[in-house]
């Protein structure tokens, strides 16, 4: 069979449907695919297998859909239908979905061969996107299990006509969250609750045409939310094409981020795999590239993060207050993000553990430097146990290269510890809570029990400590706290104390002393 005949036959094999797939139908289909892996693959690793298969099926079906349209437009000219101009991605001969589906033995190797050929045929857009999962490990994934997965995905068409990019993107996000829920402890490495993401994006308020950068982009949720934000504001997301940037250290996760953006219909972006602190991917000769909006939820208190090279950092990030401690990279991320923000319009939103607000030593010196430069605009405390893998209360730090005149010399402290819905295993920040926090930030004024506008001189008297409780006292209701509130505050205080002691021990260890 010739290549043309093979593609025509494959086109005929795509299941037809009279109606488009709804979001719920697609979500159920994807959930059932994940269930087929139970018992052979750890749930935390499901994403490394399901996402590449899903993406492979999507681009194969869309390629054949494009081929069919071009065939119809040309009166049956297969040579014309094969032209690259008719396709978003090139798929080499024998590398379509149904080529792999036809295999009954060594299915894993057939997948790897197809993946690498597709990546090599699309070096600028798809190189490395399928990751490096152990497809050929037959102990984990025997041919029978892979055949079951492939047959399951084969049951429904994933063409653009069947599933629009918007719906497909939503289903993809659903699957990311499903895997995050299932792998809880490890999920913090790649997933930020979407309500928190929405809060950060709404605060930064990116506009069409602005550049946006996430130096710890995980599965790309921040960049996706930027697109949704611009669209909701009546802007044209297409004006963000070529202006979205991300870097992610983990190969499989960076691939998922790229798939996420592509499946949402984003046509031009740059997500690079790499270690941001050790080897930033975006620079112009001897200085870091700069962006209008810099947004991230980096790993909390990352250890062994590259401090040995930071003292002589070629990008000058250490000029902002010095060297962060070896055991806590939190302020290294802040230094990097500030260095990556444009001089005039640059604004930064970063999620940090609250311990970073008050730990002393080298972190205290960096805090002091950045505060004296008047870069800190707001410190927003969040409720405990909102993030996967940690029960710690986090905070959002908002920084600007140039504050509005009315905000100059002031920092807004927001105590959001009471804004959450309690869950059995994890608390959640609901839409009403994010809207309330955004409203408080936008008013930029005192609000009893919730927010306090503080002069830099007052912060200096407290040793440049940004601990929110020093500035915002919660309102006492009915002459006291409820039992739940008291327990929550006690838990926060205990964790803060543990963080402070750990920071002190780490600082002393660098001097060869014991606490």
CATH code (residue 32): 1.20.1260.30
Q: Which residue has the tokens 């994933």?
A: 158
Indicate whether 297 belongs to any domain: yes
Q: Which domain holds residue 485?
A: 188-509
Question: Counting runs of H as helices and runs of E as strands, what totals does the chain give?
Answer: 17, 11
Token pair in block for residue 102: 């036809």
Write down the pTM of the prediction: 0.86
Beta-bridge partners for 353? 394
Residues 475, 448 contacting (CB under 8 angstroms): yes
Are residues 111 and 252 part of one domain? Answer: no
Query: Strand, coil or helix: what is 351?
Result: strand
Q: What is the C-alpha separation between 63 and 264, in angstroms, rounded?
A: 17
Token pair in block for residue 243: 């202006």
Q: For 81, which DSSP code?
A: H
From first to last of its 515 residues, the chain has per-residue pLDDT tens of 566 666 666 566 565 554 688 999 999 998 899 889 888 788 778 888 999 999 999 999 999 999 999 999 999 999 999 999 999 999 999 999 999 999 999 999 999 999 999 999 999 999 999 999 999 999 989 999 999 999 999 999 999 999 988 888 888 888 888 888 877 666 667 788 899 999 999 999 999 999 999 999 999 999 999 999 999 999 998 999 999 999 999 988 899 999 999 998 898 999 999 999 999 999 998 899 999 999 999 999 999 999 999 999 999 999 999 999 999 999 999 999 999 999 999 999 999 999 999 999 999 999 999 999 999 999 999 998 888 777 788 999 999 999 999 999 999 999 999 888 888 778 889 999 999 999 999 999 999 999 999 999 999 999 999 999 999 986 554 445 555 555 555 665 565 556 556 655 655 555 455 44
Q: Which of 155, 182, 209 is the last residue of a domain?
A: 182
Q: Which residue has the tokens 């992610």?
A: 248
Phi/psi at 304 (5° precision): 50, 55
Are residues 225 and 104 part of one domain? Answer: no
Residues 253, 192 contacting (CB under 8 angstroms): no
Q: Which of 131, 149, 182 is the last residue of a domain?
A: 182
The candidate with the shortest Cα–Cα distance to 263, out of 89, 110, 428, is: 89
Q: For 239, which DSSP code?
A: G
Are residues 204 and 140 part of one domain? Answer: no
Indicate whether 345 belongs to any domain: yes
Indicate whether 321 belongs to any domain: yes
Indicate whether 514 belongs to any domain: no
The candidate with the shortest Cα–Cα distance to 290, out of 220, 357, 362, 345, is: 345
Q: For 105, which DSSP code?
A: S
Q: What is the C-alpha separation between 134 and 191, in angstroms, rounded?
A: 23
Indicate whether 43 belongs to any domain: yes
Indicate whether 515 belongs to any domain: no
Are residues 310 and 452 part of one domain? Answer: yes
Q: ∠ CA(144), CA(147), CA(148), 5° rounding?
A: 85
Are residues 256 and 203 part of one domain? Answer: yes
Indicate whether 15 belongs to any domain: yes
Q: Which of 182, 199, 228 is the last residue of a domain?
A: 182
Are residues 270 and 322 part of one domain? Answer: yes
Beta-bridge partners for 33? none
Are residues 178 and 221 part of one domain? Answer: no
Token pair in block for residue 118: 């597709």
Type and span of the H or E element at 176: helix 165-187
Continuous H helices in 188-318 = 194-204, 221-232, 251-263, 307-310
CATH number at residue 324: 3.40.50.150
Are residues 433 and 303 part of one domain? Answer: yes
Residues 53, 194 contacting (CB under 8 angstroms): no
Query: Strand, coil or helix: what is 146?
Result: helix
Say how many domains are in the chain: 2
Indicate whether 167 belongs to any domain: yes
Are residues 204 and 163 part of one domain? Answer: no
Beta-bridge partners for 248? 273
Are residues 234 and 150 part of one domain? Answer: no
Beta-bridge partners for 51? none
Residues 89, 61 contacting (CB under 8 angstroms): no
- In this structure, the strands spanning 244-248 and 270-273 are parallel
Q: What is the C-alpha separation between 67 and 87, in angstroms, rounded?
A: 8
Q: What is the C-alpha separation between 148 and 70, in angstroms, rounded?
A: 32
Are residues 211 and 165 part of one domain? Answer: no
Residues 499, 394 contacting (CB under 8 angstroms): no
DSSP state string for 278-320: TS-S-EETTEE--BSEEEE-PPTT-SSSSHHHHTT-TT-GGGT
Are residues 240 and 168 part of one domain? Answer: no
The candidate with the shortest Cα–Cα distance to 254, out of 294, 207, 217, is: 217
Continuous H helices in 355-482 = 362-372, 431-443, 456-461
């Amino acid at each position: 069979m010739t290549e043309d005949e093979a593609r025509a036959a494959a086109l005929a094999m795509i299941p037809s449907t009279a109606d488009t797939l709804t979001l719920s139908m697609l979500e159920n289909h994807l959930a059932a695919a994940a269930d087929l892996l139970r018992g052979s693959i750890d749930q935390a690793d499901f994403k490394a297998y399901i996402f590449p298969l899903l993406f492979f099926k999507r681009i194969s079906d869309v390629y054949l859909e494009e081929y069919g349209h071009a065939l119809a437009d040309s009166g049956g000219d297969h040579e014309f239908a094969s032209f690259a101009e008719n396709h978003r991605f090139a798929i080499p001969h024998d590398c379509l979905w149904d080529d792999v589906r036809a295999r009954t033995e060594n299915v894993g190797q057939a997948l790897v061969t197809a993946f690498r050929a597709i990546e090599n045929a699309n070096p600028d857009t798809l190189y490395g996107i399928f990751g490096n999962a152990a497809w050929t490990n037959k102990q984990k994934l025997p041919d029978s299990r892979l055949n079951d997965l492939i047959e399951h995905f084969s049951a429904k068409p994933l063409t653009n006509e069947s599933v629009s990019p918007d719906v497909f993107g939503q289903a993809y996000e659903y699957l990311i969250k499903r895997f995050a829920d299932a792998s809880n402890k490890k999920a913090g490495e790649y997933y930020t609750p979407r309500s928190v993401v929405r809060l950060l994006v709404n605060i930064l308020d990116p506009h069409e045409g602005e550049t946006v950068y996430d130096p710890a982009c995980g599965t790309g949720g921040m960049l996706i939310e930027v697109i949704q934000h611009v669209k909701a504001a009546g802007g044209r997301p297409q004006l963000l094409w070529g202006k979205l940037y991300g870097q992610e250290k983990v190969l499989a996760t960076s691939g998922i981020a790229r798939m996420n953006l592509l499946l949402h219909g984003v046509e031009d972006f740059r997500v690079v795999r790499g270690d941001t602190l050790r080897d930033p991917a975006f620079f112009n000769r001897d200085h870091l590239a700069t962006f209008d909006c810099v947004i991230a939820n980096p790993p909390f208190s990352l250890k062994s993060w590259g401090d040995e090279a930071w003292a002589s950092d070629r990008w000058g990030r250490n000029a902002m207050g010095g060297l962060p401690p070896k055991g806590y990279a939190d302020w290294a991320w802040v230094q990097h993000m500030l260095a990556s923000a444009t001089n005039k319009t640059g604004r930064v939103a970063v999620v940090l553990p609250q311990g970073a607000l008050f730990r002393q030593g080298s972190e205290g010196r960096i805090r002091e430097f950045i505060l004296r430069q008047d870069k800190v605009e707001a410190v927003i405390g969040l409720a405990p146990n909102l993030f996967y893998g940690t029960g710690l209360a986090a905070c959002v730090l908002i920084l600007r290269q140039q504050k509005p005149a009315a905000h100059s010399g002031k920092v807004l402290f927001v105590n959001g510890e009471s804004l959450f819905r309690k869950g059995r295993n994890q608390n959640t920040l609901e839409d009403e809570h994010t809207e309330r926090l955004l409203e408080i930030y936008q008013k930029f004024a005192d609000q009893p029990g919730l927010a306090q506008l503080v002069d830099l001189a007052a912060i200096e008297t407290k040793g440049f400590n940004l601990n929110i409780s020093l500035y915002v006292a919660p309102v006492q209701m009915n002459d006291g706290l409820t039992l739940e509130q008291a327990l929550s505050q006690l838990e926060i205080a205990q964790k803060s104390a543990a963080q402070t002691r750990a920071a002190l021990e780490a600082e002393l260890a660098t001097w060869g002393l014991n606490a």
